[in-house]
């Protein structure tokens, strides 16, 4: 009886089970993942520990029975032990193992997707392909990974990858077939006439298409030493990785198309030349050549610089100081036309924001709106431009003391139908476009460079004036150079 007590103590001393561990593991075994918010039994090691626990605890109970009973009957104890062990196996198989495998697989999949997205978020470049190749190689039993764009190799990684550098022409017949068909294919150099391609020592492979909007734009290729290395799991992994990257490429293509569209709209707006403004300005300068030649010369310089900037390829950010200079040129031309007494403009720009980067061509349309829509018939118009730093970024305010507008008109300025307002010719021969069109175009440029967190607000009161507030929050987005 003494040796049986020593055996029980030995179990505890060996660390098979301690009193504290026994209590915790029993709770975990009984309550499962509800016992702890962190996943219980995450690895196979924990499952083995649970099974051992199901054996050790009944044995300790049996030893205790033997210690307390003079004539123990081992048969009931053995039956109980066998039942507990079977129950422990069943619990682990049905509840613990599937939950553990599902959780681990989900976490692993999300981690892999996050790593690949970090490389392919800006398209399938050689650098992105190389980074993705390293990740995929570590997650499969393939010996080498290769990416192509359908015409040449973008990147390769693995065995003999040095013999397949970026720029190598595509010669593998299977790759060409996949490009044409858009279907994944498995090839073996030993079982077919496929002799070309890269990695000649690797005798088999999987070629998966990378598709964007139904068109194959490249391939993902996994190479193996022999055909027997390719099983259903490897083909499923190849297909899954290809679909994952294709989805990311499609998302990038949509973003790129949106960016191209925004740039085209910006260039179209900047290239618009108001023929009436052009004619009236030239007429004003001609009339001053004889009477005020110096002023005519100054206006001619402003006029040439103004249109040079307006017609230039300006789809990148500019400084606020440069934007104010462009607005000042426009004001100088309009003051020469209307007279200093009819148009008074003041500019108040804080020194610390003069070098702030702003979207191009946002100030001049606001000034043009003031002059064309806010002027009274006889009274002079005053325009005040301010710019200063805020907690979130930069704020630009253009306000006038003109005729203003009703709350109803002000509330609907940025609606879609305002973009389609027709032009009209005023009594003095100038073109009067819809106020909403200019504001909408400015708002589009703000969103293009600064995102949806930035924008414009308009406050107006009839007979008092209008205030346009431009809010540029956060850091601007400098788009990549536009290519054909």
Task: Find out whether 349 and 321 touch, Cβ atoms under 8 Å.
Answer: yes
Q: Which CATH number covers residue 140?
A: 3.30.450.40
pLDDT tens digits, residue range 381-427?
A: 999 999 999 998 999 999 999 998 888 888 777 764 444 444 433 43
Shared domain for 110 and 130, answered yes or no, is no
End-to-end Cα, the chain, rounded Å: 91
Question: Same structural domain for residues 81 and 145?
Answer: no
Note whether 456 and 440 are within 8 A (CB).
no
Q: Which of 146, 151, 138 is nearest to 180 (CA)?
A: 151
- Domain match, 112 and 153 both: no
Helix (H) or strand (E) holding 475: none
Average pLDDT over residues 262-287: 73
Coil/strand/helix, residue 147: strand
Reported confidence tier of residue 27, pLDDT bands at 50, 70, 90: very low
Please tell me the predicted confidence (pLDDT) of residue 51: 61
Indicate if the pLDDT at residue 262 is higher than 90. Answer: no
- Do 351 and 455 lie in one domain? The reply is yes
Within this chain, do residues 133 and 113 fall inside the same structural domain, yes or no?
no
Q: What is the distance, to the nearest Å, from the Cα of residue 121 to the centroid of all Cα atoms in its chain?
A: 7
The partner residues of 206 in beta bridges, in order of sequence, read 186, 222
Distance set, CA 241 to CA 149, 208, 294 (Å):
16, 9, 70
Tell me: do 32 and 78 sit in the same domain.
yes
Residue 276 φ/ψ, nearest 5 degrees: -70, -40
Residue ending a domain, among 61, 91, 117, is 117
d(CA 334, CA 284): 10
Out of 219-223, 361-365, 475-479, the most confident range is 219-223
Q: Which of 259, 283, 304 is the last residue of a domain?
A: 259
Looking at the fold, whether 135 and 245 belong to one and the same domain comes out as yes
Q: Tokens for 315?
A: 């789809």
User: What is the rounded CA–CA span in Å between residue 445 and residue 371?
Assistant: 22
CATH of the domain at 411: 3.30.565.10
Tokens of 369: 């709106």
CA angle (311 as vertex; 394, 451 as ends), nearest 5: 30
Residue 270: inside a domain, yes or no?
A: no
Looking at the structure of the chain, the number of domains it has is 3
Task: Please give the structure tokens belonging to residue 461.
Answer: 């009161």
Same domain, 328 and 390: yes
What are the pLDDT digits (tens) for 128-186?
Answer: 999 999 999 988 899 999 999 988 999 999 988 888 888 889 888 888 999 999 999 99
- Domain end (from 117, 149, 176): 117
Q: In whole angstroms, how far apart are CA 22 and each of 11, 12, 15, 31, 267? A: 12, 10, 11, 14, 74
**Residue 37 resides in a domain:** yes
SS3 41: coil
Same domain, 342 and 231: no
The DSSP element (H or E) to which 377 belongs, if any, is none
State whether 172 and 106 are in the same domain.
Answer: no
For residue range 77-136, what is the model confidence (pLDDT) as tens digits?
A: 666 666 666 666 666 555 555 555 555 556 666 777 788 888 888 888 899 999 999 999
Structural domain span for residue 133: 121-259
Alpha-carbon Rg for the chain in angstroms: 38
Which stretches within 32-162 are classed as H helix? 44-68, 74-91, 97-120, 126-139
Please state whether 295 falls in left (phi above 0), alpha (psi between -120 and 50) or beta.
alpha
**Is residue 418 in a domain?**
yes
pLDDT-derived band at 31 (thresholds 50, 70, 90) equals very low
Q: Is residue 304 assigned to a domain?
A: no
Q: Both 10 and 157 in a single domain?
A: no
Alpha carbon separation from 328 to 1, 299, 413 (Å, rounded): 105, 11, 25
Q: What is the pLDDT of residue 16?
A: 40
22 or 308, greater pLDDT: 308
pLDDT bucket at 438, cuts 50 / 70 / 90:
confident
The answer on 377 and 405 residing in a single domain is yes
Residue 408 lies inside a defined structural domain of this protein: yes
The mean pLDDT of the chain is 76
Q: Is residue 307 part of a domain?
A: no
């Amino acid at each position: 009886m003494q040796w049986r007590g020593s055996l029980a103590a030995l179990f505890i001393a060996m660390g098979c089970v301690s009193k504290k561990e026994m209590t915790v593991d029993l709770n975990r075994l009984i309550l499962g993942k509800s016992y702890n918010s962190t996943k219980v039994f995450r690895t196979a090691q924990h499952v083995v520990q649970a099974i051992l626990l199901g054996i050790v605890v009944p044995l300790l109970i049996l030893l205790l029975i033997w210690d307390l009973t003079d004539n123990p009957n081992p048969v009931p104890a053995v039956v109980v032990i066998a039942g507990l062990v079977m129950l422990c196996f069943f619990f682990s198989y049905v509840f613990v193992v599937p939950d553990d495998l599902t959780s681990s697989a989900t976490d692993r999949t999300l981690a892999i997707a996050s790593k690949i997205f970090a490389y392919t978020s800006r398209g399938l470049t050689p650098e992105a392909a190389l980074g993705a190749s390293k990740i995929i190689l570590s997650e499969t039993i393939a010996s080498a990974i290769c990416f192509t764009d359908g015409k040449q190799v973008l990147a390769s990684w693995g065995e003999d990858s040095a013999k397949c550098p970026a720029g190598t022409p595509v010669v593998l017949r299977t790759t060409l077939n996949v490009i044409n068909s858009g279907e994944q294919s498995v090839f073996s150099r030993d079982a077919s006439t496929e002799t070309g391609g890269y990695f000649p020592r690797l005798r088999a492979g999987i070629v998966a298409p990378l598709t964007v909007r139904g068109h194959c734009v490249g391939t993902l290729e996994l190479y193996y030493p022999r055909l027997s290395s390719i099983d259903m799991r490897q083909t499923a992994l190849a297909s899954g990785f290809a679909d994952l990257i294709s989805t990311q490429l499609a998302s990038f293509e949509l973003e790129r198309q949106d960016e191209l569209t925004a740039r085209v709209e910006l260039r179209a707006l900047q290239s618009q030349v108001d023929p009436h403004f052009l004619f009236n300005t030239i007429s004003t300068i001609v009339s001053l050549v004889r009477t005020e030649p110096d002023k005519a010369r100054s206006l001619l310089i402003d006029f040439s610089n103004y249109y040079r900037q307006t017609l230039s390829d300006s789809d990148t950010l500019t400084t606020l100081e440069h934007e104010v200079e462009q607005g000042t040129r426009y004001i100088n031309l309009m003051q020469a036309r209307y007279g200093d007494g009819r148009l008074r403009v003041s500019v108040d720009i804080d020194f610390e924001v003069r070098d702030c980067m702003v979207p191009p061509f946002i100030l001049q349309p606001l000034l043009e709106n003031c002059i064309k829509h806010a002027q009274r018939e006889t009274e002079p118009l005053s325009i005040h431009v301010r710019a200063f730093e805020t907690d979130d970024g930069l704020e630009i305010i253009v306000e006038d003391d003109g005729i203003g507008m009703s709350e109803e008109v002000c509330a609907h300025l940025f609606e879609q139908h305002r973009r389609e307002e027709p032009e009209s010719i005023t009594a003095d021969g100038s073109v009067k476009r819809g106020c909403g069109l200019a504001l909408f175009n400015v708002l589009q440029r703000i969103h293009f460079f600064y995102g949806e967190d930035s924008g414009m607000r308009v406050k107006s009161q009839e007979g008092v004036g209008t205030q346009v507030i431009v809010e540029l929050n956060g850091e601007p987005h400098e788009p990549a150079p536009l290519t054909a």
